[in-house]
């Protein structure tokens, strides 16, 4: 399986389509999922191409996981989450729909189940959650 440079996350990285960005460094970008399965659901991707965990380099994985941890801590502090679920799907049979490596960071609250996938979120709510996550990252 080869990498498609026109996948939707590659287009977000190039700035061709908008995304609600919450954090970036030299190697990674984090932005809000437009179909959030939990309040504050965000995605972390490497800035360099790879499809998923199967073709990622150790360096790409290390950089992405550093940012996943940063976002996990930020959703705890910024949104008052009580836990975090991290998900990664590889290839269609594994549940992957966008073929640029990404990790889902899902803030979790006691007794609140994940929503089903594929339901567009309210963009004002997503923006408000993003703002609280950004503030927590800045506060460190
Ligand atoms: P997966 O490939 O791991 O199954 O999931 C892809 C994720 O990307 C889904 O959670 C979906 O809601 C999200 N997604 C799909 N298209 C877009 C988009 O254009 N922008 C953003 N921010 N998220 C997207």
Is 90 exceeded by the pLDDT of residue 1?
no
Mean pLDDT, the chain, integer: 98
Enumerate residues 6+ apart whose C-beta is below 8 A from 84: 72, 75, 76, 105, 106, 107, 108
For the stretch 102-137, pLDDT in tens is 999 999 999 999 999 999 999 999 999 999 999 999
Q: How does residue 140 score in pLDDT terms, banded at 50, 70 and 90?
A: confident
From the CA of 104, how far away is ligand 1's center (Å)? 9
pTM metric for this prediction? 0.98
Query: Angle at which helices 58-79 and 123-139 pack, to 10 degrees?
Result: 100
Residue-range domain boundaries for the chain: 8-139
pLDDT of residue 39 exceeding 90, the answer is: yes
Cα of 35 vs centre of ligand 1, distance in Å, is: 7
Domain covering 8-139, topology: HIT family, subunit A (3.30.428)
- The residues carrying an active-site annotation are 102
98 CB contacts (<8 Å, ≥6 apart)? 7, 8, 9
């Amino acid at each position: 399986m080869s990498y498609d440079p026109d996948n939707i996350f590659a287009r977000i990285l190039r700035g061709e389509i908008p995304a609600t960005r919450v954090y970036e460094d030299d190697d990674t970008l984090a932005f809000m999922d437009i179909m959030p399965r939990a309040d504050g659901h965000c995605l972390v991707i490497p800035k360099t191409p790879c499809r998923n965990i199967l073709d990622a380099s150790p360096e790409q994985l290390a950089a992405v996981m550093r940012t996943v941890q940063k976002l996990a801590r930020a959703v705890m502090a910024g949104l008052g989450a009580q836990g975090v679920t991290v998900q990664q799907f590889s290839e269609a049979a594994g549940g992957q729909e966008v073929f640029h490596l990404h990790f889902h960071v899902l803030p979790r609250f006691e007794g609140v189940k994940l929503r089903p996938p594929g339901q567009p979120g309210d963009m004002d709510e997503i923006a408000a959650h993003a703002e609280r996550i950004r503030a927590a990252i800045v506060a460190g």
